[in-house]
Structure formats: structure tokens, C-alpha cells
Amino acid sequence: MLKTESPSSQHLELDQYPTEQLAAAFADDQLNAVQAVRAVIPAIAQAIEAAVPRIEAGGRLLYVGAGTSGRLGVLDSVELYPTFSWPYERAVAILAGGAEAMFKAVEGAEDDRAQGARDLLALNPGKDDVVLALAASGTTPYVLGAIEAARGAGALAIGIANNPGAPVLREADFGIILDTGNEIISGSTRLKAGTAQKIVLNTISSAIMVRLNKVYGNLMVDLKPTNAKLFARTVRLTMHATGADETTARKTLEQCGFHVKVAVVALLKKTTVQQAQGLLDQAKGSVRGALGR
């Protein structure tokens, strides 16, 4: 039996717990998700280092999964645009059962290996693409089909699973095992197994964006402001990075379409926004490089 499916020997009277104890049991078990991720940091780092040159060369992040794993892939993909101005077409997620499965379980879709391959091939994967294939069990046929298709097309396949020795780990170019063990509610991998997967996805995609110069220090300087909250954030970030007052920061941002990177370089180098953009272009988007630091 898969470790993620085996009944837990703890909390055998879970249904009898008072509410506070019940909530504590669920929350405390999530700590095991963090520990599982921490245990495989070297493997995660290797996958990131293999992915970065491909993404730098114009590749895409392609996410594949079923059920909770697939929905986590969708979540990570759509958040890259507002956070890092990453084009939607370069972060694409496919989910067993199609778009409908994002909101409603599509039974049996995950068992179709051939469909996983077809859905992945429909994206026309190439040698610069990076496929993030997720399956808590590590045995999901849909995901295995996508991995096979990805590798056949020369794309980099990173398999993420929660059971040691799972096929998803063996068949990918890089396997990341998140050994979260059994769940408090037997087999419910939407719990800590899902949490561990989300941590890894956040880690991989965010680290890639850092390597692509989307971050200055620890500041989000390449965000895409799409609402009032994010426009306000661009002003605060610019003020923090440059020491400028709010009026100056806002005026400079208005001149460059609220692109924090450009405003920061313009203010610190005391140049026009056009000159600042030129410096960034020469430095491949690196604020440090543009500043000569």
C-alpha cells in the first residue's frame, strides 16, 4: 500500500475530538509538509538549476496534474503574471479532465495515460520547456503520459510525488520526493501532501524568477499592477528601494507605466526613465547590474 494511502496510527479517535483539539491536530500535522520539503532541498536546487537556462532561452513552465495536484499547478501558473509580470503564455497548466476539473471532480480522467500525452503534446513542447508533473501517489497514468510525451519532445520533466520510488519520480529527468507519509484522514492528500506540493511549486517558480532578475534584494520589482492594491504596492516598493518620497516615487512610476524596476534605476541613477530602461536592457533586466552594484 502507498504510504499516502495507509491509515494513520495517530488520532484514532479524531471524530471524538473537541473542536480546538481537532483544529490543532490538522494544523500540527502540516508541519510535516515543511519537514518533507526541507529534506530534499538539494534535489529541488538541482531541478531549479537545470530549469533556469531553458527558461532563459525562452522556454515555458508547463504544469501537469490531476485533482488537487493539478489545481495547485494551475494556481502557481496564474500567479506568476501579477507577481513577476511573467507572460501567461509562458506558464501553462493542464489538468486531467480539462478546465471543468478545476471546479468539479471529473472522475476517471486521471486514469487516461494517452490523454495526458495528448494534452501535453497539444502545447507543442520543445527543448527549452520545463514540465512540472505532480501526483501525490506518483502513479497517476495521466501524469505519466505527459512525462513520457515531454521527454520525447526534449523538454525537461520534473516529477513531484509523495511516495518514495513512485513511477513519476523514476520516469522524469528530475524526481522530487516529498515523503509526507500518511494523512490524518486516511488517503486525503489534499492535506499535508498537497501543502508540500504547493511549497515546492512556490519554491521552484519563485527561485527561477529570482534568477531571471525579477527581484532586487528581496523586493518584488517586476510585478504587474492590475488593481488598486498592487498600484499602491509599486509606490511603497519604489520608496523603500530608493528613499524617495511618495510624490517623487509616484511621478516617476507614472512616467514608466508603474514599472518598479525602471523607476528604481531612474531615481538611484538620477536619469530619465528611458535611460533607466536602456541600462536595464544592457544588464539583462538586473537592477543591480543597471546600478553597477
Lookup result for grid cell 488517503? 187
The Cα–Cα gap between 36 and 162 comes to: 9
CA distance 207 to 198: 14
Q: In the chain, which ranges are E strands?
A: 61-65, 91-95, 130-135, 156-161, 174-177, 215-216, 219-220
| 79 assigned to active site | yes
Give the bridge partners for 159, in sequence order: 133, 175
Q: Is residue 110 annotated as part of the catalytic site, yes or no? A: yes
Taking the C-alpha atoms of residue 179 and residue 166, their distance in angstroms, rounded to an integer, is 11
Catalytic choice (5, 79, 89, 148): 79
Contact present, 54 and 156 (Cβ < 8 Å): yes
Buried b (16+ CB within 10 A) or exposed e, 73-97: bbebbebbbebbbbeeebbbbbbbb
Cell of 166: 513512485
φ, ψ dihedrals at 95, nearest 5°: -130, 130
Catalytic residue, candidates 110, 148, 183, 246: 110
- CA-to-CA distance for 221 and 238, rounded, in angstroms? 8
Instruction: Name the residues annotated as catalytic.
Output: 79, 110
